[in-house]
Each structure stands twice: as C-alpha cells, then as structure tokens.
Structure 1
C-alpha cells in the first residue's frame, strides 16, 4: 500500500495501516510510508502557514481601512450638534441629594425614604427610579447615568435632521475610505 492509495483516508487511518505493516514485520515499508506521510503533512503545514500569513495581512489592511473610514466620518461630522452633558456637583452640606446642571436645566439625584435611588428634573414631582422599562437604579452613579440619558433624550427629541448634512454624510459613506 502506498501513500497515494491512502490519501483519501484520515491521517489516523493511514498511521494505523502503517503500524499494522510494522506488526507484520514490514518495517521498512512502514518507515518509508510514515516518512512520506510526514513530508506530505509538513508540505501542507507550509502551505497553510503561508495562507494564514496572507489572511493576517488582509485582516490588518481591512482594519486599517475601517479606522480610516471612521476618522473620515468623524471629520465629516465635525461641528455637528451634540448635547452638552450635565455637570454634577458634590452634595450640599447637610443635604441628601446631588445636583446636575446644564445651563438652565437641573436634575437632582437622591435616595428615597424607602432607600431607592432615583432622579428628578427641576420642577418635576416624584422620583424616577429606573429608565423607562429598565431595572431599578442600583446606586447614585446609576441614577446619575439615568439622569444624563433622560437629559440627552429630551434635547435630541427636539432636534430634526439637516437634509444637506445627511446627504454629505451619505456621500462620504458611499465613497468609502480614501487610500
């Protein structure tokens, strides 16, 4: 039996065949067959290693193009509207709440009498203790994050898209990254 005859079998099956030859005293044939199998496998490894290097280079090139595209998109969006964040202040002495402000907008974060953390907007009655449909806030930082999200949502809801800026953005995306 030659290596060519066993090429459709698995390597384990071929080795088992060669081991059987050795058991029947055909040591030289078994050695030659195993040596040939080893050479064939080393050649496959060299080919696969070269292919892997090529894939790594392709992946690195694709990643570089993606980074370039993101930078171009960020540059195109430069100057676009963004929501100013709330600025959070330490608790006033003797008080149980913290204040977050952005110009004339104010939020307070505090723990209710029942021990639940929440926030409320200036002029709002009651305490929001979770995002809409979300889990209850687990602490002060979580409630502050909820207030920040509420602040951004309210402002963004009052904005509308600029069709000219959207068309420029779409054209940049369609053009793809520059080389």
Structure 2
C-alpha cells in the first residue's frame, strides 16, 4: 500500500457515497466508492496512476491488462506513465469480429499485470485471470486502487494471484479523518 495520505483523502472525498448498494458479489453495503468519480477526473486519474507505478514490477511485465470497465482507464493512464502497453479485458469474449477477450494485442505467452479499480471478494479478477490463463497468458499479480477488505487478497492468493492495492478502505477512512 502507498503512504500518500493526501491522495487517499482526495479519493475518499471525491468518491465515497453512503446509502444501500448491492455489490457485484451480492453483498449489500452501506457505503460505496464510486471509482468513476475519480477515474473520470484527468488530474486525479494521473495521480492515481503515478501512485501505482512503484507497484509495477520493473521487469517481467509485457502488458497491463485493464479489466472492464473500471480497470481500463487506469491501465491506459498507467501505460502512459510507464510505457508498458495496455490491453482491454472484456467480461466475456466478443461473439463477432475478432472474438477476443482482450483487445489491444495477443495474450498468449505474455506476462500480464491485471489492473482493477476496486476489489471486494476478488471474484471479477479471478474470473478474468482464469479466462486469460486459458488463452495462454502468464499472470502472477494484480494491482488495484482500493481493497474493500472483504476477502479479495485471500481469494486471489488461493488462485495463485498476488494482489497489491494502493489503499484499503481503512486507509481511505483514516485519511478522511485527518
């Protein structure tokens, strides 16, 4: 995790919502981080990408695999600041045209770093990694902005994926109190 308290506070203030929200995992949460609110802000998106750079291995990454939809803008901006090519990973392969799961290049025998915005249970990342691995991709790590602290890192570790996060929900809450 990063120690950028100012960025954590800004993310919290920009994207924290309260109410009743059903998460992808089916869990009902009373707070939600609307990542699109910080991802659609070009200055904030660049700050987040720059904070992610130290978590990108210096060697051994052929492409950044941004997951649909929230991981794609992050992967694009991270690609801009690192020079590593980006791929855009769909939730499921197209049934027309190229019929690809990942747009922007082949995945076979390429070492990918999966990029995601928010991880809760890790289910979306795990599904994407399994599909990419079935197509020959080599994946050991995933990088996200926010770990909701709901079992994602353990679930992914069980699938041989090391999850790195910039912030946990606890980090964001603590930063908001400062």
The two structures have a TM-score, normalised by structure 2, of 0.22
Higher helix share: 1
Q: Relative contact order, CA 8 A, sep 6+: which one is greater?
A: 2
The two structures have a TM-score, normalised by structure 1, of 0.22
- Is the radius of gyration larger for structure 1 or structure 2? 1
